[in-house]
Amino acid sequence: MPTYEYACDSCGHRFDIRQSFSEDPIRDCPVCGAGVRRVVYPTGVIFKGSGWYVNDSRSAATTPSASKPVSDSPGTAEKSDKKETVKSAPDS
Percent of the chain with pLDDT strictly greater than 90: 37
- Across 27-31, 64-68, 80-84, the highest mean pLDDT is recorded for 27-31
What does the mean pLDDT of the chain come to?
76
**Phi and psi, residue 4, nearest 5°:** -110, 145
Q: pLDDT digits over 9-43, tens only?
A: 999 999 999 999 899 999 999 999 999 999 998 88
- 60 half-sphere exposure, CB direction, 13 A CA radius: 1
Q: How far apart are CA 55 and CA 40, in angstroms?
A: 33
Averaged pLDDT, 36-51: 82
